[in-house]
């Protein structure tokens, strides 16, 4: 099968931290995994841009991509096009007749906000994109439901989760060594025996970080600390909650951290917190950071909300709590505060579950099988590594 992969979410070469996020990570890592699939000839049209220039460079990129896709389709060079988000999938509308005439099938990955963005003209355009596509691949059931609500035909819906590169982090070490490595990587100190919670992500309202600081941290003992990596428009609200609750010694904003420091945070903390709250028009489609946390040995305490529910399996890689339930979050955390042996067992269980369930090799195979069915062909299966 000859597949064209189209994405506007790649960081500039050699500068991975200039454009990083769940959608960006998925695009780059899925692309790499697809290259390793047997029987698949992969061509790519990708925009490499930093976070602050993507919006400026995307329109001319889409114009160039439309011309190149049209040329490749008419030359009979491709069997299918996979758009990495609804942004690039918009090209399916003007190219619909050309692609249909050439027998080229189209599919798009949908992440969440790229379908729920609360802008009226955009919402009127979304059904036209769905109509032009042959398949839509949301990353979670919740994202799929949002697509159906916006007019997607059920027969076009194929839910495929996100994955993670299993070789991304070094093997886990003993907790004391990993904690020391974290403190060396980011500086600072923690009391002996402190329970360290962490969150990673763009600081926007739906993540619930300010709510967690304001409502949950005051319920926890003084030796429970909370570190957040990332930045965004809610940073001021988080800082205000820290000041309001007098948590300057227990809550730390790390800002945007390097890939190496991020790995140390995942490995050196004790629990990962995903305290999302509902925000109209801005859903959590999946939550790749929870896969990263699990791979780093962090059990997840997360809100039972939207796509998060497709990532966290109760008792396997973490626990789900009703969104907005401060006591529920505090009780889930305290269960591990009071039983560090159970915490270590949960850490090992979380890492094993993520490795067994969300490897990119397995997820990429689901993409290939789905696309092959849409095209009406078959692709050989990659034999498992004898090791």
CB 344 within 8 A of CB 78: no
Mean of the pLDDT values across residues 78-83? 97
For residues 251 and 322, state if they share a domain. yes
Q: Is 52 helix (H, G, I), strand (E, B) or coil?
A: coil
What pLDDT is attached to residue 18?
A: 43
Q: Is 354 helix (H, G, I), strand (E, B) or coil?
A: helix
pLDDT in tens, 153-168: 999 999 999 999 998 8
Indicate whether 46 belongs to any domain: yes
Indicate whether 266 belongs to any domain: yes
382: nearest Cα among 10, 90, 7, 37? 37
CB 164 within 8 A of CB 292: yes
For residues 179 and 128, state if they share a domain. no
Rounded Cα distance, 164 and 277, in Å = 25
Q: What percent of the chain has pLDDT over 70?
A: 95
pLDDT bin (cut points 50, 70, 90) of residue 44 is very high
pLDDT in tens, 224-262: 999 999 999 999 999 999 999 999 999 999 998 888 999
Would the pLDDT of 386 be above 50? Answer: no
For residues 182 and 119, state if they share a domain. no
Mean of the pLDDT values across residues 119-143? 96
Would the pLDDT of 51 be above 70? Answer: no
Q: What is the DSSP letter of 205?
A: G
pLDDT bin (cut points 50, 70, 90) of residue 346 is very high
Q: What percent of the chain has pLDDT over 90?
A: 81
Would the pLDDT of 387 be above 70? Answer: no
What CATH number is associated with residue 227? 3.40.50.2000
For residues 200 and 336, state if they share a domain. yes
CB 143 within 8 A of CB 115: yes
For residues 213 and 156, state if they share a domain. no
Indicate whether 292 belongs to any domain: yes
pLDDT bin (cut points 50, 70, 90) of residue 20 is low
For residues 182 and 146, state if they share a domain. no
Mean of the pLDDT values across residues 67-88? 97
Would the pLDDT of 292 be above 60? Answer: yes
Mean of the pLDDT values across residues 191-196? 94
Q: Is 17 helix (H, G, I), strand (E, B) or coil?
A: helix
For residues 202 and 247, state if they share a domain. yes
For residues 102 and 186, state if they share a domain. no
H helix intervals, 297-339: 326-337
Indicate whether 169 belongs to any domain: no
pLDDT bin (cut points 50, 70, 90) of residue 41 is very high
Mean pLDDT, the chain, whole residue set? 92
pLDDT bin (cut points 50, 70, 90) of residue 111 is very high
For residues 273 and 239, state if they share a domain. yes
Indicate whether 381 belongs to any domain: no
pLDDT in tens, 351-374: 999 999 999 999 999 999 999 999
Rounded Cα distance, 231 and 355, in Å = 28
For residues 217 and 99, state if they share a domain. no
H helix intervals, the chain: 22-35, 54-74, 86-89, 96-101, 113-116, 120-132, 141-149, 175-186, 209-215, 235-245, 259-268, 288-295, 326-337, 340-357, 360-375
For residues 185 and 154, state if they share a domain. no
For residues 64 and 181, state if they share a domain. no
CB 303 within 8 A of CB 321: yes
- The domain of 82 spans 2-163+359-375
Indicate whether 170 belongs to any domain: no
pLDDT bin (cut points 50, 70, 90) of residue 384 is very low
Indicate whether 246 belongs to any domain: yes
350: nearest Cα among 307, 302, 387, 296? 296
pLDDT bin (cut points 50, 70, 90) of residue 14 is low
Domain count, the chain: 2
Indicate whether 386 belongs to any domain: no
């Amino acid at each position: 099968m000859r597949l064209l992969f189209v994405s506007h979410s790649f960081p500039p070469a050699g500068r991975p931290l200039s454009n990083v996020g769940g959608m960006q990570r998925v695009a780059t890592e899925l692309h790499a995994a697809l290259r390793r699939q047997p029987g698949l000839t992969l061509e790519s049209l990708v925009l490499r841009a930093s976070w602050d220039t993507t919006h400026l460079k995307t329109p001319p990129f889409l114009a160039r991509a439309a011309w190149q896709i049209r040329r490749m389709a008419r030359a009979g060079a491709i069997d299918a096009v996979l758009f990495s988000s609804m942004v690039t999938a918009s090209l399916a509308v003007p190219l619909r007749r050309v692609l249909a005439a050439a027998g080229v099938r189209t599919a798009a990955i949908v992440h969440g906000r790229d379908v729920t963005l609360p802008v009226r003209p955009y919402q009127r355009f979304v059904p036209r994109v769905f109509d032009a596509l042959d398949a839509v691949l949301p990353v979670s059931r919740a994202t799929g439901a949002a697509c159906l609500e916006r007019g997607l035909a059920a027969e076009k819906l194929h839910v495929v989760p996100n994955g993670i590169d299993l070789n991304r982090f070094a093997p886990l070490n003993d907790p004391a060594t990993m904690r020391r490595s974290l403190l060396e990587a980011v500086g600072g100190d923690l009391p002996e025996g402190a329970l360290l919670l962490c969150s990673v992500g763009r600081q926007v309202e739906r993540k619930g970080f300010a709510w967690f600081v304001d409502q949950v941290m005051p319920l926890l003992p003084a030796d429970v600390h909370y570190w957040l990596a990332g930045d965004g428009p809610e940073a001021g609200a988080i800082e205000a909650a820290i000041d309001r609750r007098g948590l300057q010694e227990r809550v730390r904003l790390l800002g945007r951290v390097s890939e190496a420091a991020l790995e140390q945070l995942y490995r050196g903390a004790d629990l990962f917190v995903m305290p999302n709250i509902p925000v109209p028009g801005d859903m959590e489609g999946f939550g790749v950071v929870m896969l990263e946390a699990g791979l780093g040995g962090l059990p997840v305490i997360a809100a039972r909300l939207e796509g998060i529910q497709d990532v966290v399996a109760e008792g396997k890689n973490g626990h789900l709590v009703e969104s907005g339930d401060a006591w529920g979050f505090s009780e889930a955390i305290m269960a591990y505060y009071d039983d560090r042996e159970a915490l270590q067992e949960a850490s090992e269980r979380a890492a094993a579950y993520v490795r067994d369930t969300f490897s990119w090799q397995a997820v990429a195979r689901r993409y290939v099988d789905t696309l092959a069915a849409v095209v009406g062909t078959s692709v050989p299966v990659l034999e498992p590594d004898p090791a």
